[in-house]
């Protein structure tokens, strides 16, 4: 079922870790967010304690970025073995150490910027990853949300945080085994709902996916990921009424899926923010669902 119709509706470089002696945190610019069009979402604020991560491709970051921001790629946290490209790396403690060197611990406020609807939801995927690792205060927006001049200068390294152990929030993740079991069971009124957040043109297309295989109909409801965010990348509170109008109420268990678990990650956080507390992202996406060996 297409929600869009119902409602009429990587040059990857990894972390740019800067070496050298740790120094005091860079003085961040004063945050003056532009007005978000027709959005009731809380504004995203930045202060001296906030770490800004830029999830855009490395070459775009190198050309211009927000002062003090550091480049990061969603794939830095993911497995390298096909077809598990979307799954998080198993050694999450390793990533916690890397984040500590970026000045991030579980109490650090973090803002991730990206390309919004002009990208593939990379900033939302990074935000979801940090939330899974146990970082509490994480927001993500389009880079143009901030009415600030951009720079091409590299940010000095922030003061390292002490090494910390991830407090993994496994409720944000659903695995392939659970999805397979759901697909094999008769659907009931209280069964989890699978939401396919690919764009409608991809959902309706008969052509193979980006990894060369056609995606089968698994009975998912299509709600394009771009429907959840306004032009500045803020979650649209009005989506809750649209969801409830088609029977998706906050008591439902929701599993969100996309091709590699990227677009679905930000939607998972948006749904959580809307009050859908039993929402999880299938990080492996259709790639893992279709390509992984049957067990």
Q: State mean pLDDT over 41-69.
A: 93
pTM over 0.95: no
Rg over alpha carbons for the chain, rounded to the nearest Å, is 19
If pLDDT is split at 50, 70 and 90, which confidence band does 40 have? low
* Per-residue pLDDT at 26 exceeds 90: no
CA distance 194 to 188: 13
CA distance 99 to 101: 5
CA distance 28 to 73: 22
- Predicted confidence at residue 158, as pLDDT, reads 86
Tens-place pLDDT, residues 225-241: 999 999 999 999 999 99
Nearest to 72 by CA among 163, 20, 133: 133
| 3-state per-residue secondary structure call for the chain | CEHHHHCCCCCCCCCCCCCCCCCCCCCCCCCCECCCCCCCCCCCCCCCCCEEEECCCHHHHHHCEECCCEECCHHHHECCCCCCCCCECCCHHHHHHHHHHCCCCCCCCEEEEECHHHCCCHHHHHHHHHHHCCCCCEEEEEHHHECCCEECCCCCCCCCCCCCCCCCCHHHECCHHHHHHHHHCCCCCCCCEEEECCCHHHHHCCCCCCCCCCCCCCCCEECCHHHHECCCCCECCCHHHHHHHCCCCCCCCEEEECCCCCHHHHHHHHHHHCCCCCEEECCCHHHHHHHCCCC
Asked if 23 and 156 count as a contact pair (C-beta separation under 8 A), the reply is yes
Asked if 73 and 262 count as a contact pair (C-beta separation under 8 A), the reply is no
Tens-place pLDDT, residues 141-185: 999 999 888 999 987 888 999 999 999 999 999 999 999 999 999
* Per-residue pLDDT at 58 exceeds 80: yes
For 189: left if phi > 0, alpha if psi spans -120 to 50, otherwise beta; the answer is alpha
- Predicted confidence at residue 6, as pLDDT, reads 41
- Predicted confidence at residue 4, as pLDDT, reads 46
* Per-residue pLDDT at 93 exceeds 50: yes
Q: State mean pLDDT over 89-94.
A: 92
If pLDDT is split at 50, 70 and 90, which confidence band does 295 have? low
Tens-place pLDDT, residues 94-123: 999 999 999 999 999 999 999 999 999 999
* Per-residue pLDDT at 33 exceeds 80: no
């Amino acid at each position: 079922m297409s929600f869009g119709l119902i409602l009429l509706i990587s040059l990857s470089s990894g972390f740019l870790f800067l070496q050298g002696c740790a120094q005091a945190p860079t003085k961040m610019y004063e945050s003056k967010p532009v007005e978000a069009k027709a959005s009731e979402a809380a504004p995203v604020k930045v202060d001296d304690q906030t770490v800004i991560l830029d999830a855009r491709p490395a070459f775009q970051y190198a050309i211009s970025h927000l002062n003090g921001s550091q480049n990061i790629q969603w794939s830095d946290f993911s497995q390298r073995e096909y077809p598990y490209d979307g799954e998080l790396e198993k050694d999450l403690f390793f990533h916690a150490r890397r984040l500590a060197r970026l000045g991030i611990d579980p109490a650090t406020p973090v803002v991730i910027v990206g390309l919004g609807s002009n990208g593939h939801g990379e900033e939302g995927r990074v935000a979801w990853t940090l939330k899974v690792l146990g970082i509490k205060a994480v927001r993500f927006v389009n880079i143009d949300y901030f009415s600030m001049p951009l720079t091409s200068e590299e940010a000095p390294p922030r003061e390292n945080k002490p090494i910390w152990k991830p407090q993994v929030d496994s409720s944000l993740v659903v695995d392939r085994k659970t999805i397979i079991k759901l697909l094999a069971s008769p659907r009931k009124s209280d069964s989890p709902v699978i939401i396919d957040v690919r764009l409608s043109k991809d959902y309706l297309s008969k052509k193979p996916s980006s990894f060369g295989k056609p995606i089968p109909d698994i009975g998912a409801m299509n709600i394009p990921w771009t429907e959840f965010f306004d032009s500045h990348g803020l979650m649209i509170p009005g989506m809750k009424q649209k969801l409830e109008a088609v029977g998706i109420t906050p008591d439902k268990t929701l599993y969100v899926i996309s091709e590699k678990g990227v677009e679905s990650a930000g939607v998972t956080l948006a749904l959580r923010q809307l009050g859908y507390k039993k929402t999880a992202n299938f990080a492996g996406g259709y790639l893992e669902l279709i390509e992984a060996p049957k067990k």
